[in-house]
Structure 1
Amino acid sequence: MTSSTASRPVSPVDAVADAYVGTLARLHPLEATYLGIPGHDREMTDFSPDAAAERAAAARSTLLALEGLSAADEVDEVTVASMRWALGTGIALHDAGEHARYLNNIASPSQQVVEIFDLMPTDSEEAWDAVAARLATVPDALASYVASLRHAAAAGDVAAIRQVQAVIAQAREVADPERSAFTRLVRGDDARRALGDDHALRADLERNAATARRAYADLAEFLADELAPGAPQQDAVGRDRYALWSRHHVGAQLDLDETYAWGLEELARVQAEQAQVAAQVAGPGASVADAVAVLDADPARRLDDTTALQAWMQRTSDAAIEALDGTHFDIPAPVRTLECRIAPSHTGAIYYTGPSDDFSRPGRMWWSVPHDVTSFSTWRERTTVYHEGVPGHHLQIAQAVHERATLNSWRRLASWTSGHGEGWALYAERLMADLGFLDDPGDRLGMLDGQRLRAARVVFDLGMHLGLPAPAEVGTWTPESGWDFLRANVNMSESFVRFEYTRYLGWPGQAPSYKVGQRLWEKARDAARDAAAAQGRTFDVREFHARALSLGSVPLEVLPGALAR
């Protein structure tokens, strides 16, 4: 799975795509840092309505530029199809006012502004000077976000009160001098090592961190005093808004009612498989709860603090890379490095951030541990490391970054469709089970536990937002019955499930993209196997994976045609 030895000539389509990445980095500096594009770490994104309109206009101009060009080869054909879909859905969301009112507990500007500092270099005084400069811009960023929320509220568009309250709580934590991520950032070990006796820069960092904390206090006050009184109680967004977000997250047009029916069937299938494995763990007739109790009581499967968790994550990741490279995948040298870290936040999220363009910043798996979670069970989480690392997100995303000889910068760095990426990560979990890495019944039950969560949230997300007929055990979809449904299907801490519950209600269509994406990935693999059989060839799944990953992230609507090429 190595990048092409001979560089492909830059085509006019590539030039348009590369230019768009440059424009995106200029108009959205936080995205530039996230993508590892240098030169923007001292800058901050403007979240105002005018700035959002400028970003949408840049996307429109890019699509217009592509209209007059002929594809030079198959790579260009995939680029054009992917940009039309991805930029087109982004424009549609903007035109519908979705970005103006965008507020939820996981992925809105409130989280983006604070979390971006996790990705900034901190190994030199120059790097810390950039951190200090960006900290000073936090008030302007949040003021522009408030302007956007006010603009939407004036038109009657306000996020549900559940999301507003969640972000108020998050903002107050960031504003708290003792608990703030900004405080930990400027007083942490990295700062002490890099700054030495530079008292002036230390003072700048402390002063600007305090300014950033006050800006989050102001945000919390605005949300509580001005936005919350007009926030609706209803969480559901309805079919029209849901369909728009679903197209964006999945990268394909779904039959939402068929997907809901499939989600119910898939949940039942995973539950049945779990019951079989539970008997292997705890004996004939044992329930899943019995098996969970046995596994949680096993001291060999328990990690007692975040230090042990981080070390175990790293060992597990390193072992997977060592075992898979040269056997089931060919992993380029820069991609063999994955850092596993404990995140400074405490939301419960587990996530991956990709490497920088030059790999000077490696890919990283982050674990945001809630305050009330003090121990961890490896049987639950081995599959999570494979999901976030190798052969999941890290292999997929870092491999795309490595494809410099073939892909333009938009395809390598900026193209991301949740259904494709998260679908691959779930596909990767199942692949590791098929390859024997989850043969231990406890580890396999953990994988199935994750699959059950992803199937349950297909049902929950679609059912709640669209008001579809609920399963018999639910009765009618309400916030209360939806909570009970998730708790019955997720073997995780209450704080984790509460965070996820709020996330699904505030980020419509995103949660189903994982399991739906896995379904479409498996269909693509099976179609490739059938095509090989029809041609009298032996299907080579390793070659299929290499070809698929060399494409980068493409909308799932584009994937089958791209693979067929």
Structure 2
Amino acid sequence: MTFDHEPLLRTVTTIDRAANAYTERLLELDPGFATELGRPGHETEYRDYAPAGLKARADAARDTLAQLAALEPVDDVDKVTLHAMRERLGLALEQHGSGWQLAELNNIASPPQEIRAIFDLMPTATVVDWENISGRLANVPAAVDGYISSLRAGASSGLVAARRQVLTVIEQCERHASTDGFFASLATGAALDSTTPDTPELPAGLKSTLVANADLARTGYAALVSFLRDDLLPLAPDADAVGRERYALASREFLGSAVDLEETYAWGVAELERVIGEQSAVANAIQPGASIEEAKALLNGDPARQLKGTEALTQWMQQLSNAAVADLAGEQFDIPEVMRTLECKIAPTQDGGIYYTGPSEDFSRPGRMWWSVPEGEESFATWAETTTVYHEGVPGHHLQVATATYQKGLLNDWRRNACWVSGHGEGWALYAERLMDELGYLSDPGDKMGMLDGQRMRAARVVFDIGVHLELEIPEQWGTGTWSAEAGYEFLRKNLDISTGQLDFEFNRYLGWPGQAPSYKIGQRLWEEIRDARARKDGAAFSLRDFHTQALNLGSVGLDTLKEALLEH
């Protein structure tokens, strides 16, 4: 059975127009955002990473909030928009006021990664596409200079990222600045995308310009390395913990809700123990009497559950993703035909991690799942990653993000494209993993073990992240005293069954991006609480598919907004 439906339509309201105008302003301020959406124009440019650029974004938020203050909602969609924008934009002003945006630096989600990563989303099919890439390469040094000026301003106010983060980013930037790094490889490997043998070559002049501009980009990153090593590193604090005030602000950013941090920490400890108990039961099902570690060893020793090489990994991801789309469309979810394409790809970097990028507004560029494979890793276990495909693809991020893109007639541009709340988005993806278990897609005990391993990791991150950054007491089952980064690393090593390279990446990520990692599991907790409350409210009339449709049609919003929209309206 298949099911399709047309996008919903409604009359554009005054609040929609204010939200759309704010989104257009964001697109003007950030050409990279336009590239993410597949919007033409400004393809060679970067946003202003200097303090003036940060101020311009804050001014845009302030002006929009002032405009919204005089407006009244005309329907439930407007009520959600108003609630969400007041929460998100108000928080953005608090963050700008804290000054920490001037010191933004970590191993995964800061300007050094952003400036490079935008090239992953730029099309490469035509000569014009490569001219745009060349132009943006030439503008890398100016973007880096702006970023350096913000770091200088932050440092002058005593705001500097931890030493561990500075050292990690230095290593990343050194790789990009090298003669065989990302920029050099992008230029030397430039070619038109095509499957036909008679595809024309890029003009020789353009190839030369690409190489020259890639050298400029490399020079920009080399300058960043010098600044980080010579100027910022001597000022960087040794302490990784960011403290309660900064952590609470970051937690609200990623959740759209102010949670009780001590209660959430205690819940994380209990949830971790519960998941470990589930794993023990599954291990016994794999082999009676087996420990979790013994059961995993059996799974890893099964040739049928192993993949060799990234090509085999890509094919396996694609096949599993396609099957999930085919099975779920029209049964548990409404999935329009245009959303049923999801590309699974190996990322051009080797930093570690798996992530999703959404489709362009017209779906000419489909949603994509990217796997960043650390150098030297050639073996992959399907039992451990089946749930990851559901997390990143369908019914996880792809269904969530693509639905918001699809509902152009229902949601304003800000709701569809500019609002992303990690606790909502990542919480949904974890909810999707558990849902696939409930629907029987993880009935194989190996795949179930893989899902539980992911849940265990996310629960451990709640404990680690809050515990380390707030320097709370270590639970007695995991040690004594208060949390430190070193104690946290050993704790993660016991609970995250990943390679050393991946573990080091994740460890640095949690320390440098406070509040983000726990948002997955906390978001899942709140999603499940909202679904259960809605089921109680609707009684016999409750429909899980209708709940999913209504929830996804909201787009990404803060979790307080989600709760109000699904339970109060």
Would you say same fold, with TM above 0.5?
A: yes
Question: Is the 8 Å Cα contact of residues 27 and 55 (structure 1) preserved in structure 2?
Answer: yes
In structure 1, stretches of 5+ residues that fail to align are none
Hey, which bits of structure 1, 4+ residues long, moved more than 6 A? none
> Take 1:526 and 1:70, find their aligned partners in 2: how far apart are those partners?
31
Shift of 1:538: 3.2
> Take 1:515 and 1:262, find their aligned partners in 2: how far apart are those partners?
11
Map 1:28-427 to 2 at 5 A. Answer: 28-178=30-180, 180-188=181-189, 190-191=191-192, 196-281=201-286, 283-427=287-431
Shift of 1:299: 1.0
Question: Is the 8 Å Cα contact of residues 4 and 330 (structure 2) preserved in structure 1?
Answer: no
Shift of 1:454: 0.1
> Take 1:188 and 1:89, find their aligned partners in 2: how far apart are those partners?
43
TM-score by length of 1: 0.97
2:547 corresponds to which of 544, 547, 553:
544
Letter of the 2:60 partner, please give it: A
SS class of match (2:101):
coil
Question: Is the 8 Å Cα contact of residues 4 and 337 (structure 2) preserved in structure 1?
Answer: no
SS class of match (2:333):
coil
Question: Is the 8 Å Cα contact of residues 4 and 405 (structure 1) preserved in structure 2?
Answer: no
Question: Is the 8 Å Cα contact of residues 320 and 390 (structure 1) preserved in structure 2?
Answer: yes
Q: What do the CA deviations read for 1:217-254 (whole angstroms, capped 9, x no partner)?
A: 11111101110011000000000000000001111010
Shift of 1:59: 0.8
Letter of the 1:184 partner, please give it: S
Q: Does 1:495 align with 2:501?
A: yes
The total of aligned residue pairs comes to: 560
> Take 1:405 and 1:152, find their aligned partners in 2: how far apart are those partners?
42
Letter of the 2:266 partner, please give it: A
> Take 2:264 and 2:485, find their aligned partners in 1: how far apart are those partners?
21
In structure 2, stretches of 5+ residues that fail to align are none
Q: Percent identity?
A: 53
Question: Is the 8 Å Cα contact of residues 474 and 482 (structure 1) preserved in structure 2?
Answer: no
CA RMSD, Structure 1 to Structure 2 (Å): 1.3
Shift of 1:327: 1.2
Q: What do the CA deviations read for 1:295-317 (whole angstroms, capped 9, x no partner)?
A: 11111111111111111111111
Q: Out of 517-526 and 304-313, give the one that drifted further.
A: 304-313
Letter of the 1:186 partner, please give it: A
Shift of 1:187: 2.8
Cα 1:72–1:2 shift into 2, 3 Å: farther
Q: What do the CA deviations read for 1:79-135 (whole angstroms, capped 9, x no partner)?
A: 011111111111111110121000000000000010110001111111111111111
Cα 1:551–1:72 shift into 2, 3 Å: same
Question: Is the 8 Å Cα contact of residues 125 and 193 (structure 2) preserved in structure 1?
Answer: no
Q: What do the CA deviations read for 1:523-565 (whole angstroms, capped 9, x no partner)?
A: 01001110012xxx33211110011001100100111111132
Question: Is the 8 Å Cα contact of residues 124 and 193 (structure 2) preserved in structure 1?
Answer: no
Letter of the 2:93 partner, please give it: I
Cα 1:38–1:563 shift into 2, 3 Å: farther
SS class of match (1:70):
coil
Shift of 1:372: 2.9
> Take 2:10 and 2:486, find their aligned partners in 1: how far apart are those partners?
55
Shift of 1:191: 4.2
> Take 2:155 and 2:501, find their aligned partners in 1: how far apart are those partners?
30
Shift of 1:32: 2.1
Map 1:20-35 to 2 at 5 A. Answer: 20-35=22-37
1:527 corresponds to which of 506, 512, 533:
533
State the partner residue of 1:442: 446
Question: Is the 8 Å Cα contact of residues 192 and 202 (structure 2) preserved in structure 1?
Answer: no
> Take 1:554 and 1:6, find their aligned partners in 2: how far apart are those partners?
19
Letter of the 2:501 partner, please give it: S
Letter of the 1:418 partner, please give it: S
Shift of 1:374: 1.6
Shift of 1:195: 6.0
State the partner residue of 1:558: 561
Q: What do the CA deviations read for 1:315-352 (whole angstroms, capped 9, x no partner)?
A: 11111001111111120111101111100111111100
TM-score by length of 2: 0.97
Shift of 1:200: 1.0
SS class of match (1:557):
helix
Q: Does 1:512 align with 2:512?
A: no
SS class of match (1:100):
helix
> Take 1:38 and 1:547, find their aligned partners in 2: how far apart are those partners?
31
> Take 1:256 and 1:388, find their aligned partners in 2: how far apart are those partners?
27
Question: Is the 8 Å Cα contact of residues 161 and 231 (structure 1) preserved in structure 2?
Answer: yes
